[in-house]
Structure 1
Amino acid sequence: MGHDPADHVFLDPLAAAPPARAGDHPAALRLGTFDGATVVVMRFAAGQRLDAHRAPHAITVQALTGELDFRVGDESGRLTPGRLVYVRAGVHHAVHAPVESVMLLTLHTGDEAGFRHSGPDRD
């Protein structure tokens, strides 16, 4: 018996990450929206940042390359490849990249609409 193509998707966030852009903020690309989650990849040039803000949904943030200084309220932590942080919805947080870095952001939306592909790669 076959499978439904909407049951899964393989993504390569490092290959899909947009090139860094000039300015203070990173380049971003939404890779897709899945059941309950939206996945975004961001590339930071050294020194770029995301100023303090709140997300409407819980998030996980993972460093894929480089280093990211992640601040939640008054607490800071360094994300290196493979390390991630979870932040509840509505909590102030900020990100700074001291070196060129790629970050994977997952917004845990709770939506049940199925997968909608947004990125360049789909296996």
Structure 2
Amino acid sequence: MSFYFEMAAVALEMISEFGQAVTIRDVIKGEYDPDTSTTSPDSVVERIAQGILLDFTGQEFQTNSLIKVGDKKLKIAAAGLGPAPSLLSKVVAQGKTWTIIPPLKEINPAGTPILYELQVRS
């Protein structure tokens, strides 16, 4: 196992211990059938991830004008997650549905995703 795979496993272990389970929800658009001129229904794919929901600090508010009051920082362990969350994904945490605000940061040294850092807004 390479060093970065070990770091990803450690990140997952620590976030699982001190964080919480969050749901990443992706909507897959239905396909259009030109023969019938209809579109199949959208489908929803949900994945469980381990994450830590944090408040932004005062310094972050001063240096980033995209942060609004009530926004949170969500750090998600990449190990075992599968595909990275996208800007179209929704996150369900602490009983709320959160929208991901750009940029979506990926900590990915040497091509091994370890952590995703998201700005989320309810």
Specify the TM-score bucket, using the shorter chain as the normaliser.
under 0.3
TM-score (norm 1): 0.26
Query: Which of these two proteins has the greater Rg computed from alpha carbons?
Result: 2
**When the two structures are superposed, what TM-score results if normalisation uses the length of structure 2?**
0.27
Structure of higher RCO (CA pairs closer than 8 Å, 6+ residues apart)? 1
